[in-house]
Structure 1
């Protein structure tokens, strides 16, 4: 880049480049490497390109889960890049995606992994075991602080004790792991979840938007959404519309569409998925922008996510399909796999973790 171009303009130009180009430019000169590596540049860099990560089992579980990244642009779905299972995790489950990072959890490895797919960097956190006299359930969440770009993991432990009077409960145990400190601590807030709330923790029951982790949950009387803000470190409850609050929770799932929270309701009477979108993060107003008809020759089973265009990615007959909700046009995605084992997650390019040693493990 010419020395005649003012430094501020050079910085603005670099911020518009894809991550792959930035990594290459770091090796050209020390000044550019110092700029790209700086905390301020990493914090304010926002990649222009959205990608979709597709994970699935191709044939059998013994071959391991496959990962493919697909550019979500005009070439979709032609640009497919295969990715390697980070740290060879055993049957990992996605916890969430935030600010271009993916968070995976492997129960058998007792490990949480934070993965930047663009720069191919991984850090891991080994979960310590909590000993109890009776059963316990861990709920994990993930997000990146909006102010500091610090990735955080939250661990919520629910404990049930048995005594002579039957079952009783102890309060929720909540801890936060900021990557910047490398240690678990109690969050700033004390408004912990009610012990009567049950979190659903499948991949399609949780989503992360702008550093806030949302869980689909229910209590004794109704369905609701529970959230944890990684910046304020506060819990919140979101009431669902009456049409969703008292339905069987097995018909509900969650996703995101253009950084808006979406609740999907499978209506078997009408043979449609009803899309409920949260319009306002403050008033929590839900609207129904469209429905998705699944009574088609392709036997569409489950909505997995959305492209930035608004097209739905749907599983059906061991394949993925792209569904345009207004024209109702359907086309094959070009990936085959096992039933009910597809997952699709959108992510943007980021430089977060650039300052971390690759494969670093926090014990």
Structure 2
């Protein structure tokens, strides 16, 4: 029926209709005909479908060794378990969600030894090879952070790895490298901003730029940016912050409405830090948070969330996404619960959560769209490499470059 109807409709109209459908439906419609299969599988259609779905986001959450997903709702979030490639490892490690871009997740095990690109919509995944590095097996003071984004110039998805450690002979050592999904390979990049120490937080992608939080020598928090198009680093000053004491403030980044947003949590110590045992983060008490947006190279203060506007004591909050009418923003508090913050009434409405055990917090929430983008390696390229390797003895003295 559908195949017969398709002959009476122009291709442009068929394409327009199909781009509005979810990924699951499109996978089924590939069986309608060879022409539909060819259309839906084409790179042009995949990009067009992506532009239609960027506003329809889901929430992805990591919870120990689980990955869970929920549609965005004003009243209730219902999380379902997402099967991911790290589940296939024998020891079932905790999963870390590093970033979400165009429906593709960058996930890793807890020590970041096994890293995958994974699209939960079409179930494609790719194991990223280890980055070449000179770091020792047991490095003192090791800090390793990742970033993941899309290079619009080369139509390539890239992973950036920054690592620093301390060596008794050489002092602080640092490395920067970039992985190209198109080439399936790493290469080292020069970083002239190495005097700034890394925070243990991964980067956030905004357009073709990755943004990291770093610390200067005078203990000031700054933003370090990496341009995926030019493979260059730069520094961005933070906005005019309230006076603070280092150790009583946390910063988190998010991509909201296509712009870089900065959340600055101002805190105070619960007890004397010298008498507190454990993670210093849990010795902090929330006072208020300022939310800034970087637009046209200028920081604009959007709003402030005060302690009295949250119904219980907490340590920090992070942004997740805006509502469709952009009058509310979904916030994540202490990685334990969610609430919609009304930008007009300045009140928080707590959201009911199903399928997510709050006792397993803290969790980390990102938004993710449904997309057809595949991260699997092309079978043709793999077959070609195997053929060349097999017949290599026939061409002694020659080198093949793919």
What is the TM-score when the length of structure 1 is the normalising length?
0.82
Summarize deviations over 1:158-217 as a string: whole Å, max 9, x none. Answer: 354323xxx5345x4322111111111235xx4x142211121335xx322223221111
Whether the aligned pair in 2 keeps the contact of 1:159 and 1:169 (CA below 8 Å) is yes
1:148: Cα distance to partner?
A: 4.2
| CA distance 1:248–1:34, shift in 2 (3 Å) | same
* Cross-structure match for 2:151: 145
1:356: Cα distance to partner?
A: 4.1
> RMSD across aligned C-alpha pairs, in angstroms?
3.0
* Cross-structure match for 1:278: 294
* Cross-structure match for 1:60: none
* Cross-structure match for 2:273: none
1:119: Cα distance to partner?
A: 1.4
Number of equivalenced pairs: 339
CA distance in 2 between partners of 1:274 and 1:125 (Å): 37
Summarize deviations over 1:77-114 as a string: whole Å, max 9, x none. Answer: 35543212432251222221212211112244611111
Structure with bigger gyration radius: 2
CA distance in 2 between partners of 1:317 and 1:95 (Å): 15
Whether the aligned pair in 2 keeps the contact of 1:118 and 1:350 (CA below 8 Å) is yes
- Relative contact order (C-alpha < 8 Å, sep 6+): which is higher? 1
Summarize deviations over 1:59-80 as a string: whole Å, max 9, x none. Answer: xxxxx43322122256x63554
Residue segments in structure 1 that go unaligned for 5+ positions in a row: 57-63
Moved more, 139-148 or 209-218: 139-148
* Cross-structure match for 1:248: 246
Matched, 1:23 2:27: yes
| CA distance 1:288–1:297, shift in 2 (3 Å) | same
Residue segments in structure 2 that go unaligned for 5+ positions in a row: 269-285, 383-402
1:261: Cα distance to partner?
A: 1.4
CA distance in 1 between partners of 2:188 and 2:194 (Å): 18
CA distance in 1 between partners of 2:366 and 2:305 (Å): 19
Matches within 5 A, 1:1-363: 1-46=5-50, 47-48=52-53, 49-56=56-63, 64-72=64-72, 77-78=76-77, 80-88=79-87, 90-108=93-111, 110-128=113-131, 130-132=133-135, 135=140, 137-163=143-169, 168-169=171-172, 172-187=174-189, 190=190, 192-202=191-201, 206-221=203-218, 222-243=220-241, 248=246, 250-268=249-267, 271-280=287-296, 283=297, 285-295=298-308, 296-309=310-323, 310-315=328-333, 318-327=336-345, 328-334=347-353, 335-338=356-359, 341-353=362-374, 356=377
Summarize deviations over 1:261-290 as a string: whole Å, max 9, x none. Answer: 11112234793211111122xx2x111111
| CA distance 1:318–1:152, shift in 2 (3 Å) | closer
CA distance in 2 between partners of 1:349 and 1:317 (Å): 24
| CA distance 1:330–1:83, shift in 2 (3 Å) | same
1:20: Cα distance to partner?
A: 1.7
1:18: Cα distance to partner?
A: 1.8
Structure 1's consecutive aligned runs of 4 or more residues displaced over 6 angstroms after TM superposition are none
Summarize deviations over 1:226-247 as a string: whole Å, max 9, x none. Answer: 1112233222211112326975
What is the TM-score when the length of structure 2 is the normalising length?
0.75
